[in-house]
Amino acid sequence: MTISSTTVKVSYSGNGSTTVFAYTFKILDDDEIQVIIRSSTGTETVKTITTHYTVSGVGSSGGGNITFLTAPTATQTVVLRRLTTPNTRNRLCS
């Protein structure tokens, strides 16, 4: 199945109280999105599903939400990035 979307990443500023952040691209499985917290110094930490956040909207063409168990602080940026495996079959046939 081909996913048609040019949006592969969205970013938000944390504020210490918001825990829900929308992603606007389709994913077919909850491991097709990478959730990153970027500190004010630029250090990026990849978060773990169920430990740090949950995913909703899997399979929805309009995307869904990432819900953090603890709100990102005002000095942090939330980065939501789509991860998809390249279609090896199409590459081999080209």
Render pLDDT for 39-94 as a digit per residue (tens, 0 to 9): 999 999 999 999 999 999 999 999 999 999 999 999 999 999 999 765 544 444 44
Return the amino acid letter for 58: V
Give the pLDDT confidence score for residue 6 in this predicted structure. Answer: 64
Sign of CA dihedral 2, 3, 8, 12: negative
pLDDT at 94: 44
Query: Which pLDDT belongs to residue 84?
Result: 75
SS3 91: helix
pLDDT tens-digit profile of 5-25? 467 999 999 999 999 999 999
